[in-house]
Each structure stands twice: as C-alpha cells, then as structure tokens.
Structure 1
C-alpha cells in the first residue's frame, strides 16, 4: 500500500503541517516516489497513529521518540507515567497551597515559612532551577539540561548536589567577551531557531545512542568538519576565539569539577548520557586521530 500525504492526513486525522513537523523531528522516515511525492506505507500509517495517540497524552517530541524507538515500549510508557505522576503531584501541591492562601489568609512571613514543606518538595528539579534563576539564565540551563532534570530532590545526596550547583551558579563571575564577539553571538543566537536546537540535540543523541549508524550516515560531513576545524581559517574565526574564552572560563571556575560533577549526582539519566558520550568520543578518536588536536584545544564532546 502506497498512500500520499493528503490520504494519510484524512486516515490519521492529523494536518499536513503536523505530518511535516513529525518528519522534520525525525519521528517519521518517509520515502519519496519518482515525482518527488512522499509515499506512506502501512507501517508509516500505523506509526503516525501511534504518534497521534502519544501526542494526545501530552508527550513531547523527545518523549515520543523514547517510546517509539524503545525495545520495551511498556517500560518506556511506565517511565513517562512516572514523569506525569511527578507533574500531577506538583500541580496538586500548587492547588492545595493556593487554597491555603485563600482560606487561611496568612501573613507574608507565614506564607514564606509554609511554602518550603507544602510546595517545594513537589517541584521538579528543572523548575527549581527556573525559580532560582529567573529569566534568560534559567531558560538557558533548562534548554541545555532540562531533559535530564524531570525528577525531584528525593534523596539527601540530590539535595546536597542541587545546593552545590545553585551556590556555584549564583557566585560564578560573568564571562567577559570583547565587543565584536558580543555582536557575533547576538547575530548567531538571533538566527538560531528552536528547530535548529532540536536538530542539534537529535544529532547528538544519534551519535551517542547509535554511533555506528550515525557515523555511516554523516561520514562526509564529519570529515569536512574536521578539515575545517584543523584549518587556519577556523583559528582566525570569531567562533574559535569565543570557544577559547569559554574553555578558559570553564577551566578556571570549576565548571567540570563542581557543576558537571554534581549534575551527574542529581540526574542518573545525565550520568548515563555522559558515560555513553565518553564511549562515543573514544571510538571517534580511534577512527579519526586527526580530531585529537581539536579535543586538546577545546575538550569538547562529539
């Protein structure tokens, strides 16, 4: 069975734009016919129906990807249910505390003292970071690490690690960039869309979780990248200068020893991710020894 997008849209009761989005996010891998039209197989239709069901459950793209690519979907759904349970507990705690404010009419001092044990125990770690660092700084942290921080501070070890992270982030000095690099970064961030960030995250996850396939599909692109990174043109670029400033800043301010080390305590999923990343980096360096200089210069991940 070969169907076109207009037919599949009606069968699965989703818009064409939604199908396009799922394809862009890597949830659907579609084939094209000789005329350049996408052809949907019976498997594609079934998968799209599954994606639709999971979206109705409120799943994000990354959550859906975890389920549909899992070897044990029951286990993956169970993990998502636990995540939803934590969220529901948080919402209920907020609702109960709102009732407390309305019914008891406490003073600010009383409300402040009560919130610690009535509400904060139910807040997810990434939300606590947003509360601790409102604005762009907190959003930056959640954008880069939020997917690893859906749990709660449910052990003394996690509480201690969280406090060390907050203290570190609150006292760390701001990194200083020359004016020309500030302009370069502003232009770069303005042109970087949410889709771009999701694609970058998808590429990183692919490299970590399916290294062999990722390398096979991206061999030419990676070789071009390595050639550029080892070139004099790159060393003369704003990107290289910015990278060196950030590297020096991280080395001298305890980024790896404090922030990353405690993040691994705070999140078992981040620890697992780091272990896989280390293994992928080792394989990458074994296959591409010319990348060794890049790692020495930047100590960055794949």
Structure 2
C-alpha cells in the first residue's frame, strides 16, 4: 500500500479511506493483504485528477467512479455482444453515460468560471480605485 500511496502522492491513510468509502476496491490475498494492480493505480490517479482539477467532493468522486465503472462494463459488453441491435442499444447507453459525466464536469467548470469572473470584476474595481487615487 505504501508504494501505491507514494506513486499517487497520497498518504496510506487516504488510500485506506478511499477504499472504505468505495472509491477503490483492491483484491485481497489469502492473508488479507491488499493487492493493487496497475489498473487500481490508474484508477486512483484518475480520482486524484478529478479531485484536484475539478474540485470534486467525496460524494462527487463516488458518482464519478460509479459512472466510470458503468462505462467500463458497457465497453466490455459491447466487445462481446454479437447481436447488432443489443450492441446499438449498449452504445446508446454508453453515450448517455458519457453525457452524464460531461454534465458533472461542466457544472464544476461553470462554478469555477463564475468565481473567476467575480475576481476579475474585483480586480477591475481595484484598478479603477488606483486610477482615482493616483496609485501606481
């Protein structure tokens, strides 16, 4: 676990917590030790990116992970399904799922843009005050 935590820039406690709340589910050895795969590490890195870049809360991260798992199941299903109509239906489901993920991201981005515009407005007012009071 320590290696995984170090690879992802997290503490062991955070990795354990993410497992407790269902964001991560590593396999277990017969002795009960966590066995992290390359896929687990990649998933954890995606979670961290969503948390850091988009500011997702833990609840949003859980939804993000759930959507990612749904996409993975659909993608795997599309590969093995022979029936063209079923395949088309699954592709449609996958598109809806991706749209749900994009909507989550767009909502976060909109909040960030709103906050940024408020600071730009404040900066403009400061510039006006500097001119008014002849401050360099």
Whether contact under 8 Å (1:67, 1:73) holds in the other structure is no
User: 1:66 — aligned with what?
Assistant: 63
2:12 aligned residue:
16
Return closer, same or farther for 1:19/1:73 CA change in 2, 3 Å cut-off.
farther
For residue 102 of structure 1, report the CA deviation from its aligned partner.
6.3
- Over alpha carbons, which structure has the higher Rg? 1
Alignment check: 8 A CA contact 1:31 1:39 kept: yes
**Residue among 102, 115, 118 paired with 1:77:** 102
Matches within 5 A, 1:130-169: none
Q: Deviations over 1:143-179 (max 9, x none)?
A: xxxxxxxxxxxxxxxxxxxxxxxxxxxxxxxxxxxxx
Residues 45-124 of structure 1: pairs in structure 2 closer than 5 A:
45-57=41-53, 58-70=55-67, 71=70, 72-73=97-98, 75-97=100-122, 99-100=124-125, 103-104=128-129
User: How far apart are 1:21 and its partner, in Å?
Assistant: 2.2
What is the alpha-carbon root mean square deviation over aligned residues? Answer: 2.8
1-structure distance, mates of 2:47, 2:111: 23
Over 3 Å counting, the alpha-carbon distance change for 1:63 and 1:31 in structure 2 is same
**Is 1:38 the counterpart of 2:38 in the alignment?**
no
Structure 2 CA distance, aligned partners of 1:94 and 1:6?
A: 40
Superposed, which structure 2 residues align to 1:212-291 within 5 Å?
A: none
Question: How many equivalent residue pairs?
Answer: 101
Q: 1:227-267 CA deviation, whole Å, 9 max, x = no partner?
A: xxxxxxxxxxxxxxxxxxxxxxxxxxxxxxxxxxxxxxxxx
Q: Unpaired segments of 5 or more residues in structure 2?
A: 71-96, 131-136
Superposed CA deviations along residues 83-110 of structure 1, whole A, max 9, x for unmatched, are 22233223322441454266259xxxxx
CA contact (8 A) 1:32 1:39 kept: yes
Aligned in 2, Cα 1:103/1:73: closer, same or farther, shift over 3 Å? same
**1:19 CA drift (Å):** 0.7
Gaps of 5+ in 1: 106-302
Q: Give the superposition deviation at 1:14.
A: 3.0
For normalisation by structure 2, the TM-score amounts to: 0.57
TM-score by length of 1: 0.29
Change (3 A) 1:6 1:56: same
